[in-house]
Structure 1
Amino acid sequence: LLTHSTITDIGFSADSIYTNTTIAAGTYNGCAILENQSMVCWGDNEYGQLGDGTTTGSAVPIYVNVAANETPVEVTVGQVTACALMESGNIYCWGSGYYGKMGNGEPWNNDYVNTEMRQVLLPEGQGGQTVSISGGHICTILDNGDVYCWGRGNQGQLGYGGTSNRNIPTKVNLPGQRSAIAISTGTFMTCAITRDGMGYCWGENDEGQLGNGTTNSRRMTPAEVLFPSGYTPVSISAGDDFACALMDNRKVMCWGENNDGRLGQGPLGTDDETTPVWVIMENSETAHFLDIGTKSACMILDSGETKCWGTNEEGQIGQGDTDIDYYSTPTEVNGSYDFVALSINSDTICAITSNAEGYCWGDNEAGQTGRGSIDT
């Protein structure tokens, strides 16, 4: 793959992005919700993941056909599937339906091309509070705090106790019937924060990415993340064989596989970690936003800077080049960008500034930076 490593303005023709849940970077495409409550997507469209009724890709944002009488409030994008949470609490997905990702009961082994939104079959009387998608599975937190997941389950990432795929949302067995307040899906894993301030992860664990002090091959029900005593996670993000959390002291912890410096431990910290370790930050630095992708991570500091670490093969660290393969300590993104939120998926990052402008950087093979051209 070649890269587009320079940060570029997304080509919105009108309106603006306005909240921290309204931009999402996927593996091959991105989506955003505009201030007028319409939604746009850009990039690859082989499986209909742009949601415009076609399978024609676009290197600039195009309007999504939003379901009738629905208003999108949150969007999440995976590899070849996207989902949106509506103001009504309904959830819709579109794009590839393989593994049952549409969540509407269609056979999981039919690789449906869904060019229009399909409504997810949530439990009767319950709406979604948030939604998160990875390459193969999707999870939501319902109004009552229950977590439901659907799609691919091969490593136990659906959290119900088995490894079969599910084509409708299936309840996760959180210990003690706990309620969740945050959820994040990774490649073959899922993590959540419960209302009582506990962190839990489940799914694949060959690199210690569940954070419970073990490297068991997988965990089919939630395992407690062993955060240090006296610290509580306030947000959590799952990636590819690693995960990170923003803690209540506004510092960041990561755990799991440490290839490409993704745990932020510096050049001497190369070991995998089965329990959370502190990311290297200056004593005076505190963060208020965190997200991680497949092999990289970014945080927005209270001082306004954005810092990223991990792999830089596609320019994800925002240095304007790919000369350095990876950064093992948080490194400030080039340019004077006042980012307030960002989204990372595989090798592309998209972010929103305080004046509602959208920017993307990283891989642009399918036009997923939305800048009007494709780097091949």
Structure 2
Amino acid sequence: MRRVALAMLALLAACSEPRSYLVVVIDAEPALRAEVDAIEVAIRGSTEQRPVERIDPAIDPLPLTIGLEAQGALTPVIVEARALGGATARVTRRVRTGFVRGEIRTVHVRLEHACLDEPCDAMRTCIAGTCVDDAIPPASLPPWTGTIDDAGTPQDVDASAPFDAAMPLDASSEDASTADARTEDDAGPPPLEPIPGPIAAGQDHTCAVKDARLWCWGGSDEGQAGAANGTAAVELDITRVAGVCAGMRFTCAWTLEGEAWCVGLMNGATGPVFRSASKRPLMLPAGTRARMMACGYDHACALLDDGRVTCAGRGTEGQLGDGLSLDAPPSAPVIASLDAAAVRIGAGEGQTCAHLEDRRVVCWGDNDLLRAGGPMSFAEIATPRDVDSMPVELASTGALAGGGGHTCAVAGGQLYCWGANTHGERGCLPTSPRAVATAVPGATTGASEVALGLDHTCVILGGAVHCSGDDFYGQTGRDPAGGTTDCTMVAVTQLAGETATHVAAGRFHACAILAGGDVACWGHNQRGQLGAGGADGWIVRRSRLP
């Protein structure tokens, strides 16, 4: 075996920092080696690009083992191996992954004959003749079973073990032996229990589900509201819908069978990550189904029936949770690096959160204004991190939500929030950002569901919708003659005495489904997102779906 000493992919930090290693093992099937002239290996991270390694498969021994060390910031790592015929890449195998702090993990990259002349799209790579997602969450990488010597070279690999014995399966692929073992009398998967999501609001559109049909209205420049472009509700071409979520200019829905669909525009760091005026699937890992989805401003995540969370869209602030901070299209989503199964998820401008089955709440992504619950020193959180002081019991489907600069959750009938409070979106508390979950004054009993806009918060308390925060467009629904301040959690004036079953918040508007079936909306109405004509303001507009 050929070994290469460790390369530094990040700036050295203090000696007290835990040391983190990644051992890259490159191999090629014998049948492939006989058909190619050379193998090139390129490894790059966010701070440094290594020189390309070139191997002559007829002379140089394989596997090739390369050691990488990172200290301080754990940078993403992209490993690409190419088998060349002349100057042409006949096989390309790429892995997007990263480091696990204080641990030695292994990433196996194997060039296979089945992938000969099988090109894949961006963020896809060939395994066993099939194009699959090229991302592997760092937490799922197997540990290195050898040692690292004083020179920084990996040692003592078990050469007798099958090369791929420790290689994690790609999230979107299936073990061939498992598939072959299926029989006709297989009982199949257990019944799916989708989590309802009957209403959602985006930047300037609103969507709601009635009788498993999806209706949207408001702005639809990118197709996010279907053929709608005004106050009239239009049905989208997604059937048997269980729930809906909305981003800035896109809409996603999950079905009773566990399919996940999106339509509209998700912008990435340098341009669109996803753009389609007709529905397109969020590709789920083989054998899994979506129980619910959560939409941020330009990203979306699905909670799978096995407790994992898969995300797509903009990822450059860490909001996809795989540790790489890279964009990922819905055709090739990534798996968030959770250490326990999730039971509920929520998303905001650039942050994503999950309630885990072990009763913790974790968040990841953009930590500006402390919206992801991390300390001030963290600009972003690329993998999930516990939110401090968050009580363990969350209430209902809509009990976890993200906004522009803040995040909230409902537990034990109380509303807890963290992040920004410039406009009183966390209630009448100090206006400085706070990373610790804090109970919101005026929402300490009877809370069941919460929804967040850019800088406003709405929560159902004892069946009545209450809101606080920025009220420039009337999005808190309070009569301006009432004399209350923005930070006061007050009932929506024109819904006094009425019971709401669900609530949603867009960038500058909010909506609720009332017990009688009406959809009530208030706030910004430039594109007809309130479902009825009229100016912006606290006046509630009512509509009823067909």
**TM-score interval, smaller chain:** 0.7 to 0.9
Deviation of the 1:233 alpha carbon = 3.6
Tell me which residue corresponds to 2:493: 334
Question: Which one scores higher on RCO, CA 8 angstroms, separation ≥ 6?
Answer: 1
Alignment of 1:184-263 (within 5 A): 184-227=346-389, 231-234=392-395, 235-247=399-411, 249-263=412-426
Alignment of 1:105-144 (within 5 A): 109-110=271-272, 113-144=275-306
Count, aligned residues: 336
Query: What SS does the aligned partner of 1:309 have?
Result: strand
Asked if the contact 2:262–2:280 (Cα under 8 Å) also holds between the matched residues in 1, the reply is yes
Query: What SS does the aligned partner of 2:510 have?
Result: strand
Q: Deviation string for 1:73-110 (max 9, x for gaps)?
A: 1011111100110111111111125449xxxxxxx945
Tell me which residue corresponds to 1:63: 235
Tell me which residue corresponds to 1:165: 327
Alignment of 1:78-117 (within 5 A): 78-99=247-268, 109-110=271-272, 113-117=275-279
* Runs of 5+ unmatched residues, structure 2: 1-194, 538-546
The answer to whether the aligner puts 1:264 opposite 2:427 as a matched pair is yes
Q: 1:38 aligns with which of 213, 224, 227?
A: 213
Asked if the contact 1:243–1:254 (Cα under 8 Å) also holds between the matched residues in 2, the reply is yes
Change (3 A) 1:73 1:322: farther
Alignment of 1:319-330 (within 5 A): 319-321=478-480, 327-330=486-489
Deviation of the 1:156 alpha carbon = 0.6
Query: What SS does the aligned partner of 2:423 have?
Result: helix
Q: Give the partner amino acid of 2:423.
A: D
The answer to whether the aligner puts 1:182 opposite 2:341 as a matched pair is no
Asked if the contact 2:198–2:502 (Cα under 8 Å) also holds between the matched residues in 1, the reply is no
Partner Cα separation in structure 2 for residue 217 and residue 322 of structure 1: 40
Task: State the 4+ residue runs in structure 1 displaced beyond 3 angstroms.
Answer: 97-100, 108-113, 212-215, 230-234, 320-326, 372-376
Change (3 A) 1:299 1:122: same
Q: Deviation string for 1:252-303 (max 9, x for gaps)?
A: 111111110111134xx222212111110277x321122222211111112x
Asked if the contact 1:319–1:334 (Cα under 8 Å) also holds between the matched residues in 2, the reply is yes
Change (3 A) 1:321 1:113: farther
Partner Cα separation in structure 2 for residue 147 and residue 272 of structure 1: 28
Partner Cα separation in structure 2 for residue 215 and residue 346 of structure 1: 27
Deviation of the 1:322 alpha carbon = 9.5
Deviation of the 1:49 alpha carbon = 1.3
Q: Deviation string for 1:37-71 (max 9, x for gaps)?
A: 3221111111111224xxx61221122222xxx41
Tell me which residue corresponds to 1:8: none
Partner Cα separation in structure 2 for residue 322 and residue 301 of structure 1: 23
Change (3 A) 1:25 1:294: same
Partner Cα separation in structure 2 for residue 116 and residue 33 of structure 1: 18
Asked if the contact 1:41–1:50 (Cα under 8 Å) also holds between the matched residues in 2, the reply is yes
Deviation of the 1:186 alpha carbon = 0.8
Q: Percent identity?
A: 27
Q: Give the partner amino acid of 1:258.
A: N
Tell me which residue corresponds to 2:197: 21
Q: 1:308 aligns with which of 457, 463, 467?
A: 467
Q: Deviation string for 1:210-256 (max 9, x for gaps)?
A: 2244441111001100126x653443211112111111x21111111
Q: Give the partner amino acid of 1:64.
A: L
* Runs of 5+ unmatched residues, structure 1: 1-18, 101-107
Tell me which residue corresponds to 2:454: 294
Asked if the contact 2:364–2:385 (Cα under 8 Å) also holds between the matched residues in 1, the reply is yes
Partner Cα separation in structure 1 for residue 316 and residue 226 of structure 2: 27
Deviation of the 1:22 alpha carbon = 1.5
Query: What SS does the aligned partner of 1:207 have?
Result: helix
Q: Deviation string for 1:317-355 (max 9, x for gaps)?
A: 101459989611211110223111111121111110111
CA RMSD of aligned residues (A): 2.4
The answer to whether the aligner puts 1:356 opposite 2:517 as a matched pair is yes
Partner Cα separation in structure 1 for residue 489 and residue 483 of structure 2: 14
Bigger Cα Rg: 2
Q: Give the partner amino acid of 1:250.
A: G
